[in-house]
Structure 1
Amino acid sequence: MVDITIHEGITYAERETGEMKLDLYVPESETPPLVVYIHGGGWIAETRANIPDPERYAAEWDCAIASVSYRLQAVPARADIEEMHDPANPTPRGTFPDHFVDVKAGIRWLRANADAYGYDAERIAAWGSSAGGHLALLAGVVDDVTDLGEAFTDEVEKTVVPEEAGTVQAVISWYGVADLTLTDDAEGIIPVLMGGPQSEHPNRYAQASPVTHVTSQSPPTLLLHGREDEVVDVEHSRRFFDTMDDAGVNAIRYELHDLNHVWAETVEDIASERVAMDLLVADPNHAQSVYEATHVEKGQSPDPLLADLPPAGPETIRQFLDRTIK
């Protein structure tokens, strides 16, 4: 097993509401690529500790892994979402697009400090789950926070190593939110995130949706989603995949039959992302369907994102990273 050097609680940004921090796990190999993990929790809950065994997978994949905190959504006193709010959570809070601004700041900081910690600044993948999947997808298709759109122009400011690029070369999304316009809800977390219902803020909903920003230059993406997801409908990953395909970008989508959010069997069984990979490993033969979009230039040979379509799990991610950032 490769030795891993762990750096915990690194401050990458100072915000009015507190310090933004990240944890970094670096294998002792020659300049490995970097995976930036963005945790889930409905944009309002959990911390950067909500990550599947980063020390283990940094070693197995021979990639540095950084788990990045981002400002969580400030929560109004509303019964429909208040139960998700943990007052003891020390993570600073803000309002969208602060979450995205922080993720991009973390990526820029990590790129600027690659030599100091021993990973490759030019080979970076974003990996996120649920709300973190939304932020990872957005980080992939929006090169710079200032490109998010006119609905957010006045709320975006680059203060952390602004000269560095915030781009990533690959994206992994676990049951991520890809299209906020799919919801017409007047209550719940998304109207809180967007400052009101879609009927009042259509541009905010569209511009905060990763699917809106896909172009032919978007990075290759691996999508994994449960067909029975009651928290983030599988239609999010389907729509994002189709948009990538239409744009001529390579993508691959796994749909896990009969599984809910965070690979649970029912919504009542949903647990932390810390154990999500373990659930996949425990049942690698769970029924699943795989969809590939592999685009070939005239005169070239196909170069699929996965070598042999392994069951959804750590081997899937390892092969995807091998093909995209190694």
Structure 2
Amino acid sequence: MVGRAMVLSVILAAGAAHAEPASLDDYMKQARHRPDAAVHYGPAPSQVAELFLPKAGGPHPVVVLLHGGCFLKQYEGFPQTSGLAADLAQRGYAVWNVEYRKLGEPGAGYPGTFQDVATAVDALRAEAPKYHLDLSRVVAIGHSAGGHLALWAAGRRKLPASSPLHTADPLPIGAVISLAGIGDLKGQGKAWALPCGDDTIERLIDLKGRKSPYADTSPAELLPTGAKVVMVHGVYDAVMPPYTGRAYALQVRKAGDRAEVVTIPDASHFDLVIATTPAWKAVVAILDREMKALAHETRRLPST
């Protein structure tokens, strides 16, 4: 029973139907969905976030959605995650679908890609009053490379003041759902290199040009963050296999934070980010649970 050996908590059933695991082509050919608003947080074409809103009135809990694609321009990701954003909006969530500069674009890598994510996440504060966003309930969902960025974004308050990635008051993220993401750039870089290229992480974090390149770029170096972490993997994921999520969750727990691993049967790397799959429904169930937990925690806070 491979699934039982891999998880720290519970295996979510992906449904009774047994379809072939989704491919990269299945992922790439998804239709683009139109947002309710688009906000440019910088001058570059990729410095944009799209907001998808529920039809009901707010205040809306917020999902920060970060696409994957090996941090590489050719794999896109932003158009593809618009389908997930539209689906979540129909379920009552406001979704901040974030684009960022990827390797192959001017200014990408270190520090640009990380600064883009930080600026985009913090830009929610300016949009919250207009769109009735509840920033006490923010969950980040990231896929693959975006899973890394979501975990990193939750740890930004731990960044040293000397880092160009540091900001004085980063927006708190209550929980992170990492969909086949990488949490430990140093320890798991070899697993990442096989699908994404031997030099991708080197280029992303300027590995050869900096003295301590992991210190402000690897989520593992920023623990503990205080955010709940759920590492989600398809059992057939050859890009970031379930053992990588288990290893990172152990690091998170050792640092004192809460962490869980979920493996989804009959799912690949890409089933997790296609809105019509049973795997995505399992991800939504995790999101619903974590948002309810955040709402409960918010109600318990003393009034000011």
What TM-score do the two structures reach when normalised by structure 1? 0.68
Aligned to 2:18: none
- For 1:12 and 1:318, how far apart are their aligned partners in 2? 28
Aligned to 1:279: 277
- The 5 A counterparts of 1:151-170 are 153=163, 155-156=164-165, 165-170=170-175
- For 2:132 and 2:244, how far apart are their aligned partners in 1? 36
- For 1:44 and 1:149, how far apart are their aligned partners in 2? 28
- The 5 A counterparts of 1:1-326 are 6-14=35-43, 17-18=44-45, 20-27=47-54, 28-45=56-73, 46-51=76-81, 52-60=83-91, 62-74=92-104, 93-143=107-157, 147=159, 153=163, 155-156=164-165, 165-181=170-186, 182-184=188-190, 187-196=198-207, 203-215=212-224, 217-257=225-265, 259-263=267-271, 273=273, 275=274, 277-281=275-279, 312-325=282-295
Aligned residue type for 2:217 = A
RMSD of the alignment, in Å? Answer: 2.9
Superimposed CA distance per residue, residues 245-295 of structure 1 (whole angstroms, 9 cap, x where no aligned partner): 22332222102356432238xxxxxxxx3x2x423359x7xxxxxxxxxxx
List alignment gaps of at least 5 residues for structure 2: 1-33, 297-304
CA shift for structure 1 position 316: 2.4
Contact 2:177 2:229 in 1 (8 A): yes
Superimposed CA distance per residue, residues 79-127 of structure 1 (whole angstroms, 9 cap, x where no aligned partner): xxxxxxxxxxxxx652223222111111111122200111112321111
Contact 1:123 1:169 in 2 (8 A): yes
- For 1:224 and 1:230, how far apart are their aligned partners in 2? 14
- For 1:26 and 1:322, how far apart are their aligned partners in 2? 19
Contact 2:142 2:177 in 1 (8 A): yes
Contact 1:125 1:325 in 2 (8 A): no
Contact 2:178 2:229 in 1 (8 A): yes
Aligned residue type for 2:70 = G
Contact 2:117 2:153 in 1 (8 A): yes
Contact 1:33 1:63 in 2 (8 A): yes
Pick the structure with more helix per residue: 2
List alignment gaps of at least 5 residues for structure 1: 76-91, 265-272, 285-311
- For 1:254 and 1:167, how far apart are their aligned partners in 2? 24
Q: 1:167 to 1:93 in 2, by over 3 A?
A: same
- For 1:36 and 1:263, how far apart are their aligned partners in 2? 19
Aligned residue type for 2:237 = D
Superimposed CA distance per residue, residues 175-221 of structure 1 (whole angstroms, 9 cap, x where no aligned partner): 00111112356934222223346xx8672135421122111x42112
Q: 1:135 to 1:19 in 2, by over 3 A?
A: closer
- For 1:19 and 1:73, how far apart are their aligned partners in 2? 11
Contact 1:72 1:99 in 2 (8 A): yes
CA shift for structure 1 position 36: 0.8
Which structure has the higher relative contact order (CA within 8 Å, separation 6+)?
2
- For 1:321 and 1:234, how far apart are their aligned partners in 2? 24
- For 2:103 and 2:157, how far apart are their aligned partners in 1? 23
CA shift for structure 1 position 142: 2.1
Contact 1:111 1:122 in 2 (8 A): no
- For 1:236 and 1:207, how far apart are their aligned partners in 2? 20
Aligned to 1:308: none
Q: 1:19 to 1:49 in 2, by over 3 A?
A: closer
Q: 1:126 to 1:281 in 2, by over 3 A?
A: closer
